[in-house]
């Protein structure tokens, strides 16, 4: 089977199971089976854009299923514009694994995904996997990014912020007087944060963060950051450390983003109880309710 494009995403949706199981595509060869699913934090929103290629869907309600040891519907919202599927947003409230199938209400399967696992990534110190929000610019024709507020890829990556940071500096100085003293004349400082990635042999994670970390719009845990060095990982290494710098605005403040703004097209806050309840819209017939 020929491959018309590589699909750099930790969760990938294909039109046929044959495309997903095609092991001549290196992206499928490592991370398909239920033995090694891609980890997704449960109880949080995830949004994945769909390649703008052969993405026509019928004009009827679409339902996201997870197929594994059990078959269950996952609360989701699909963005369809002019008959083309542009993005899938979903949230799951339980720990379960399998692959996604996006079906019509009548049961016709339109898309299949690689295997995923909804899980709790919280470690013994209370840390969770890092959250990223990004808008890809490596192939602007492959995805639709017309809506600057809502058209984002938002998910987690299997990486932790372990509190490792440093200050990079560059300065110049000049001598003062004849007593051997000096003063700094110019100085440049940059805050850098290190993240520990857990790859477990999956090059899809490495390729995804390598490409998307070149974007101008890359937010990690709500702060815009820029990759500061090329990632290097050994052939059989299961871990990788990457460094990112904080991006500042004209006032010297970190540039931040609010996920609730991104998901405002599918999330409605109930004001009658002081915003203590969030309604996660599924479709016109179903609503999943999560209490804060």
**pLDDT for res 215:** 76
- Better-predicted residue by pLDDT, 140 or 141: 141
The whole-angstrom separation of Cα 15 and Cα 27 is 16
Categorize the per-residue pLDDT at 31 as very low, low, confident or very high, splitting at 50, 70 and 90.
very low
pLDDT digits (tens, 9 = 90+) for 152-171: 999 999 999 887 777 766 65
**pLDDT for res 181:** 67
User: What residue segments make up the domains of the chain, in order of their start?
Assistant: 165-191, 259-291
Please determine, for residue 61, whether its predicted confidence score (pLDDT) is greater than 80: yes
- Better-predicted residue by pLDDT, 174 or 286: 174
Mean pLDDT over all residues of the chain? Answer: 81
The whole-angstrom separation of Cα 263 and Cα 175 is 56
């Amino acid at each position: 089977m020929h491959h018309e494009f590589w699909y750099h995403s930790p969760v990938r949706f294909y039109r046929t199971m044959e495309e997903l199981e095609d092991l001549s595509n290196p992206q499928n060869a490592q991370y398909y089976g239920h033995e090694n699913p891609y980890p997704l934090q449960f109880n949080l929103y995830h949004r994945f854009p769909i390649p703008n290629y052969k993405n026509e869907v019928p004009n009827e309600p679409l339902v996201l299923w997870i197929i594994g040891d059990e078959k269950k519907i996952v609360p989701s919202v699909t963005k369809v514009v002019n008959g083309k599927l542009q993005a899938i947003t979903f949230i799951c409230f339980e720990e379960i694994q399998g692959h996604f199938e996006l079906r019509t209400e009548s049961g016709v399967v339109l898309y299949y995904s690689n295997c995923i696992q909804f899980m709790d990534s919280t470690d013994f110190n209370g840390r969770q996997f890092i959250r990223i929000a990004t808008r890809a610019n490596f192939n602007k024709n492959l995805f639709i990014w017309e809506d600057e507020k809502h058209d984002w890829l938002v998910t987690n990556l299997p990486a932790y912020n372990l509190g490792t940071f440093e200050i990079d500096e560059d300065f110049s100085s000049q001598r003062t007087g004849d007593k051997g003293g000096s003063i700094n004349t110019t100085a440049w400082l940059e805050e850098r944060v290190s993240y520990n990635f857990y790859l477990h042999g999956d090059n899809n994670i490495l390729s995804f963060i390598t490409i998307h970390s070149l974007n101008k719009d890359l937010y990690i845990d709500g702060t815009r950051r820029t990759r500061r060095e090329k990632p290097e990982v050994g052939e059989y290494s299961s871990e990788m450390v990457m460094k990112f710098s904080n991006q500042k605005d004209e006032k010297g403040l970190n540039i931040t983003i609010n996920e609730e703004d991104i998901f405002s097209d599918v999330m409605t806050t109930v004001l009658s109880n002081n915003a203590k309840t969030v309604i996660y819209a599924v479709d016109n017939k179903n609503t999943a309710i999560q209490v804060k």
